[in-house]
């Protein structure tokens, strides 16, 4: 059985500018990965490279054994890459429920299941996207990605700027997706210890290169090493 996602010596960036250099790793179905590092080292660029939004200079990206280097973004989403960008991209002209139904694809995740996981979204289903709080918008962004019925979730700073009570609620949801549903995830998160608590494996980037690759538990247990690598809590 082919690996779900494989990057082999990926060098990518914006135009002629190189941001990622010789990045290689692989994920199987059900794997969870924390992508860590200081600001500006290429974490978000790696996610958008997976979605086809940077220039791939060298290397290969394979999805279920097939090269997707020239596959457009929308086809990557249809194939099972569920991207949750940091900006959330709410549409002011759509209600919460319209945000969900407009992207829906057949599979396990439907409106009923989304509302079971996010009852707050059901309460706000007739509100416009720009009428939600920041925490509610993040819930909607995750729910919208799930409605595509992805095989992997790419989460970019999901906890940024949110109240502690909302952070705890989102942690519960993401942890349940990983442990109970076996969802594959890549989590980019400045709060490194939160990301490590959610995942099985950790990769640390520095200047666009992988400088550390280990299981999450061992890195979480070695606080001195974690602080040296990422310099954030």
Whether residues 63 and 97 share a domain: the answer is no
> Taking 60 as the threshold, does the pLDDT of residue 1 lie above it?
no
CB 70: neighbour CB atoms within 10 A?
Answer: 8
Q: Which residues contact 103 (CB under 8 A, 6 or more apart)?
A: 144, 147, 148
Residue ending a domain, among 122, 149, 176, is 149
Coil/strand/helix, residue 232? coil
Q: Are 203 and 213 in contact (CB under 8 A)?
A: yes
| Domain count within the chain | 2
What CATH number did the domain enclosing 189 receive? 3.40.50.300
Tokens of 153: 């979730």
**Integer CA distances (angstroms), 72 to 52, 54, 67, 77, 185, in order:** 6, 11, 12, 9, 21
63 & 3 share domain: yes
- Per residue in 160-192, pLDDT (tens digit) is 888 899 999 999 999 999 999 899 999 999 899
| Shared domain check, 137 and 51 | no
Reported as half-sphere exposure (CB side, CA atoms, 13 A), residue 79 has a value of: 19
Same domain (yes/no): 107, 198: no
Provide φ and ψ at 161, rounded to 5°. 70, 15
CA dist., res. 83 & res. 5, Å (int): 14
Query: Which two structure tokens, joined as six digits, stand for 59?
Result: 């290397």
- Asked if 92 contacts 49 with a C-beta cutoff of 8 angstroms, the reply is no
Asked if 6 contacts 31 with a C-beta cutoff of 8 angstroms, the reply is no
Same domain, 156 and 93: no
**Alpha-carbon distances, residue 70 vs 9, 46, 49, 85, 142 (angstroms):** 16, 16, 11, 21, 26
Does the pTM surpass 0.95? The reply is: no
157 and 192 share a domain?
A: yes
Residue 74 shares a structural domain with residue 180: yes
d(CA 151, CA 120): 25
Instruction: Judge whether residue 2 has pLDDT over 70.
Output: no
Answer yes or no: do 222 and 194 share one domain: yes
Are both 121 and 6 inside the same structural domain?
A: no
Going by pLDDT thresholds of 50, 70 and 90, the confidence category of residue 157 is very high
Question: Are 204 and 210 spatial neighbours (Cβ–Cβ below 8 Å)?
Answer: yes
Domain span at residue 44 reads 1-80+151-161+168-233
Residues 21 and 39 in one domain: yes
d(CA 3, CA 35): 19
* Rounded-to-integer distance, Cα 139 and Cα 63, Å: 27
Q: Is 122 in the same domain as 109? A: yes
* Matching residue, tokens 């059900």: 30
Query: What are 84-138's pLDDT values in tens digits?
Result: 998 878 888 999 999 999 999 999 999 999 999 999 999 999 999 889 999 999 9
Tell whether 228 and 127 lie within a shared domain. Answer: no
């Amino acid at each position: 059985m082919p690996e779900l996602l494989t990057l082999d010596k990926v060098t990518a960036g914006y135009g002629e500018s190189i941001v990622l250099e010789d990045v290689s790793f692989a994920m199987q179905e059900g794997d969870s990965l924390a992508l860590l590092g200081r600001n500006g080292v290429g974490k978000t660029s790696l996610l958008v490279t997976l979605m086809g939004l940077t220039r791939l200079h060298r290397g290969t990206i394979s999805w279920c054994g097939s090269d997707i280097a020239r596959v457009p973004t929308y086809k990557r989403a249809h194939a099972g890459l569920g991207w949750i960008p940091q900006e959330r991209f709410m549409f002011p002209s759509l209600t919460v429920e319209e945000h969900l139904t407009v992207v829906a694809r057949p599979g396990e995740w439907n409106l009923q299941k989304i509302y079971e996981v996010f009852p707050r979204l059901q309460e706000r289903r007739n509100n416009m996207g720009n009428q939600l709080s920041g925490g509610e918008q993040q819930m909607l962004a995750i729910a919208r990605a799930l409605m595509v019925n992805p095989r992997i979730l790419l989460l970019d700073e999901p906890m940024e700027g949110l109240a502690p009570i909302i952070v705890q609620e989102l942690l519960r949801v993401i942890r349940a997706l990983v442990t109970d549903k076996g969802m594959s995830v890549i989590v980019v998160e400045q709060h490194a210890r939160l990301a490590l608590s959610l995942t099985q494996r950790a990769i640390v980037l520095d200047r666009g290169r992988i400088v550390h690759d280990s299981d999450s538990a061992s890195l979480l247990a070695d606080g001195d090493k974690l602080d040296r690598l990422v310099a954030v809590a």
